[in-house]
Every structure is written in C-alpha cells, then in structure tokens.
Amino acid sequence: MSKKPMQASQVTSGKITAPPQQTDEALLLRYRATGDEASFAELVHRYEGELYNYLRRYLGNAAMAEDVFQGTFLQLHLKCEQFEEGRKVRPWLYTIATNQAIDAQRRNRRHRLVSLDQKHGADGEEVGTLMDMLADGRPTPWNHLEMSEQRDWVQQTVARLPGALRSSVVLVYFQGMKYREAADVLSVPVGTIKSRLHAAIVKLSGAWHGNFGQDDGSENT
C-alpha cells in the first residue's frame, strides 16, 4: 500500500483528526500498518508547536524551521518501517528533526536565535540558565553590559561550538530536556551528554573571560 505523508497545513485545518487518547507509539504503528492518514495527522498535530519551536530556536529562522519541520515528518513517513516497537516516538522524532536541522544549518550557515534565560531541569532538579552557569557566582561583566548585548555575545559563541557540544546545549539548556532524553535523541550515553555540557560550559566561560573577564574580580570604572 502506498502511503502519502500529510502536510502540516492539512492538519491545522482541523479536517482530519484521530482519537487523542492513543499513544504516539500506537498512532505511528497504526499508520505504518494501515496507512491511516488520521493517525499521521494526529502525530503532526501533537508535535507541531513543540517541535517547531525547538527548530526555530535551533535554526534562528522561522522559514527554515518550517521547512525542516515538514522535512522531519516526511522522513518520519519514509522511515516509519524502521521504528522499533518498544521505543518512544518523541526522542526518535527529535533525532530526525535534529539531523534535519544540522543539514539545513550546514546548507545555510545562519546563526541561531535561542532563549538564553530559559531554565532547564536535570532529573527533577532546577539547574538554572546558561547565563547562570557562565556567571558561576563570580563577578562578571554581566553588570557592565546591556542584556541584549549579553544575549548577542552568548548566541554567537554558542553557535560556534562544535556540533556535538552545540546540539547538547540546545537540547538541555534551550529545549529543557533531561539528560536522558537528550541522550536518547543524540543516541549517546547520559555520561556523554554530561561531559559535552561540561566541555561546552568550559569553552563558553573561557571565551567569556577571555573577551571580557576581569582577572582579579575588581571593578574598573
């Protein structure tokens, strides 16, 4: 049976729906087995806000995010036979979306726009924002720059991180995923995520203090 992937525009029109009580996994397996368009449409509907917002933060461009969103669900359609029963759809879908975003970023070489003040959690604990991590309780130039200037600098510096570090930072700090969820998305152990985040913070802090840092913590007026 030939199946055609649904477009987001077909879903948001509200003309096609599926029973909302079904799990993501049940919907995908049903679509794979029967080609039921309502099941695919329900999956798109469930993730259209969450996944699009993630892609927009990652890519920093609404048009690119929309294209990658559509491409992600095209890949979901094409790869649904590869979905393993017992897995969760959400991390698998984020893996597809992240790979699609990386490809789009390589093609376009654009800076991402991210929310630097979003708090994130790790295993139920509130860890704080990326700016909190960079400040680390010591006197920093946060007090000497406008907030917009702070964000611009961090945005540009995060965008220059190596791909593995950048994707981990985006998923955990900006998307708010737990370490295990980010590990599932990137298909790496939890320890690798933690190591990458630590390495990213070290690089960002070093770059920050290299550009603006005051070695002895004294104020310069």
Q: What is the pLDDT of residue 166?
A: 82
Domain that holds residue 80: 8-108
Q: Which of 26, 53, 57 is nearest to 39 (CA)?
A: 26
Does the residue 158 lie in any domain?
yes
Residue 199 near residue 163 (C-beta atoms within 8 A): no
Residues 124 and 207 in one domain: yes
Question: What are the E-state strand segments in 53-170?
Answer: 120-122, 125-128
Instruction: Tell me which amino acid residue 146 is.
Output: E
Does the residue 200 lie in any domain?
yes
Question: At residue 11, does pLDDT exceed 60?
Answer: no
Which stretches of 60-189 are DSSP H helices? 62-79, 89-108, 130-135, 147-159, 163-169, 179-186
Question: At residue 30, does pLDDT exceed 80?
Answer: yes
3-state secondary structure of 176: coil
Output DSSP code: residue 13.
T
Q: d(Cα 185, Cα 177) in Å, to the nearest integer? A: 10
Q: What is the pLDDT of residue 175?
A: 77
Dihedrals phi, psi of 128, to nearest 5 degrees? 115, -170
Averaged pLDDT for residues 129-150: 55
Residue 47 near residue 32 (C-beta atoms within 8 A): no
Residues 92 and 146 in one domain: no
Does the residue 113 lie in any domain?
no
Q: d(Cα 129, Cα 46) in Å, to the nearest integer? A: 27
**Rounded to 5°, angle at Cα 159 from 118 and 115:** 15
User: How many domains would you assign to the chain?
Assistant: 2
Averaged pLDDT for residues 152-158: 74
Give residue-wise pLDDT tens across range 67-99. 999 999 999 999 999 998 888 999 999 999 989
Q: Residue holding tokens 């961090």?
A: 154
Residues 132 and 104 in one domain: no
Output DSSP code: residue 170.
I
Instruction: Tell me which amino acid residue 113 is.
Output: L
Of 108, 134, 162, the last residue of a domain is 108
Residue 20 confidence class, pLDDT cut points 50, 70, 90: low
Residues 134 and 93 in one domain: no
Give residue-wise pLDDT tens across range 54-74. 888 777 778 888 999 999 999
Which residues sit opposite 125 in a β-bridge? Answer: 122
Contacts of residue 29, defined as CB under 8 A and 6 or more positions apart, other chains included, come to 83, 85
Residue 9 near residue 71 (C-beta atoms within 8 A): no
- Helices then strands (H, E): number in the chain? 10, 2
Average model confidence (pLDDT) for the chain?
A: 75
Q: Residue holding tokens 């939890």?
A: 190
CATH code of 96's domain = 1.10.1740.10
Q: What is the pLDDT of residue 207?
A: 79
Residues 83 and 140 in one domain: no
pTM (predicted TM-score): 0.59
Share of the chain above pLDDT 70, in %: 66
Residue 96 near residue 79 (C-beta atoms within 8 A): yes
Residues 70 and 93 in one domain: yes
Does the residue 141 lie in any domain?
yes
39-53, 136-150, 152-166, 173-187, range with the lowest pLDDT: 136-150
